[in-house]
Amino acid sequence: MRTLIGVVGSKREARLKLMCELGAKLADEGYNVALVFHEEHEAAKSLKVFLVANVLKTSTFIAVRSKLNLDDIGGLFSSKWHLVLVEGRKSIPHVIAATSEADVNEVDSKSIAIVPLSDEARRLATSWTSKVADIYGATKAIQKVVVEDVMKLLALEDCGKCGFNSCRDLAEAIARGEESPIKCVERREGVRLVVNGEHVPLNQFTSKVFVQVLRGLLSVLKGVPRDPRKVSLEAELY
C-alpha cells in the first residue's frame, strides 16, 4: 500500500535536494517515506539502474537492473502504508522544484505544489499560480494526497466503531503506518469463495484477510490498475 508522488524540475540537483528535504520532513512527522531515483552514472545508464532509499534512521539502497515500473514499486516495501517520492514522474501527482521559467510553465492539473528555488522562478510563479509553496506547504499538499488515497478504501460513514472520531482521523493514522484499512469496521469488501462448485460462507475476519493478501499480491504485478475494485480469481489446486 503506497502513495506515489513525483518530484520534477529541469535541474537534477534541485530535484534531489527537494526530494531529500521533503522526505526528511515527512519522515519526522511519522510517515514511512521512500525515495526512488535514477542513477545517472554512465555505467548505470546501460543497466537501467534505479535506486531506492528509505528515509528512516537507516537507509537502504536497492539497485534494480531492469526498468522499474511504477506498479512494481509497492512490492519493495512492507505492508504498512508508504509514501514514495519518485524522481521525474509527471504522470502522477507531483511537486515541482522550480529554478527557471520553463519549470514554472510545467504547472498543470497533476501539480500539487511548486517550490521556487530561484528568484526568477519565485517571481514568475507567484504572479500566476496559487500552488506556490515552501517546504512546509509542499509537505502539507503531499499529506493531503496521501490521506485522500487512504480515504478511498474506507466506508466514510464516521461511525466511530474503529475507535477514531472520524474516518479522516483513521485515514491519517493509516497514512502514517500506525493502522491498517482493516481497522475500518464498516468497510465493504465482499469476497465470495466457491470450492468445487459449492459456496463457502466467510466471516468478516476471513473475508478481510483474503482481501488484504490479494491486494498485496496484485500490488507487485505488472499491468494491474493501482486501485483495483473488483477481482475474479479461479485456481486449480493439485
**What's the pLDDT tens digit per position in 158-187?**
888 889 999 999 999 999 988 888 788 776
What pLDDT was estimated at residue 110? 95
Measured CA angle at 102 (ends 100, 107), to 5 deg: 105
CA dihedral of residues 164, 151, 60, 222 (deg, nearest 10): 140
What pLDDT was estimated at residue 67? 58
Mean of pLDDT values over 17-46: 77
Inter-residue contact 187 to 174 (CB < 8 Å): no
Minimal CA–CA distance to 78: which of 38, 36, 33? 33
The full set of domain ranges for the chain reads: 2-149, 189-238
CATH number, domain 2-149: 3.40.50.300
What backbone phi and psi angles, to 5 degrees, belong to 112? -100, -20
Least confident of 59-68, 158-167, 189-198: 59-68
Average pLDDT, the chain: 81
% of the chain exceeding 70 in pLDDT: 78
Q: Which residue has the higher pLDDT, 210 or 96?
A: 96
Least confident of 19-33, 70-84, 144-158: 70-84
The segment with the largest mean pLDDT, out of 24-28, 43-47, 188-192, 223-227, is 24-28
**Grid coordinates 460462507 are at which residue?**
201
Reply yes or no on whether the pLDDT at 190 is more than 90.
no
What pLDDT was estimated at residue 47? 42
What pLDDT was estimated at residue 41? 47
What pLDDT was estimated at residue 46? 45
Between β-strands 94-98 and 82-87, what pairing exists: parallel, antiparallel or unpaired? Answer: unpaired
What pLDDT was estimated at residue 63? 56
Q: Which residue has the higher pLDDT, 60 or 103?
A: 103
Reply yes or no on whether the pLDDT at 93 is more than 90.
yes
Q: Which residue has the higher pLDDT, 72 or 6?
A: 6
Inter-residue contact 131 to 113 (CB < 8 Å): yes
Residues 6+ positions from 76 with CB-CB distance below 8 Å:
34, 52, 62
Minimal CA–CA distance to 142: which of 111, 167, 116? 111
% of the chain exceeding 90 in pLDDT: 32
Q: Which residue has the higher pLDDT, 53 or 24?
A: 24
